[in-house]
Amino acid sequence: MKLRERVGKTQREVALELNVTTQTISNWETGQRVPRLTPKQTYDLCKILDCTLEDLIDGLSDLEDSE
């Protein structure tokens, strides 16, 4: 969520750009679901969020630590 908010995008905007549902983005952000992304989707998500792969992985690790 921090990465998404940093670039000023809504869950809906990210979902549309990544071709997934808004609920999917919400589930990822709340830790209810783990993203299952293709390499292309992972690359696209990094571009959408203007972050590195390392930043993205760190963000996922933060979610796991909060459970």
pTM of the model: 0.83
Of 62, 66, 38, 32, nearest to 4 by C-alpha is 62
Roughly what angle, to the nearest 10 degrees, separates helices 11-18 and 22-30?
110
pLDDT at 65: 54
Domains along the sequence of the chain with CATH: 2-65 (1.10.260.40)
pLDDT at 62: 57
Mean pLDDT of 22-37: 93
pLDDT per residue as tens digits for the range 39-67? 999 999 999 999 999 999 887 665 555 55
**Higher-confidence residue: 59 or 7?**
7
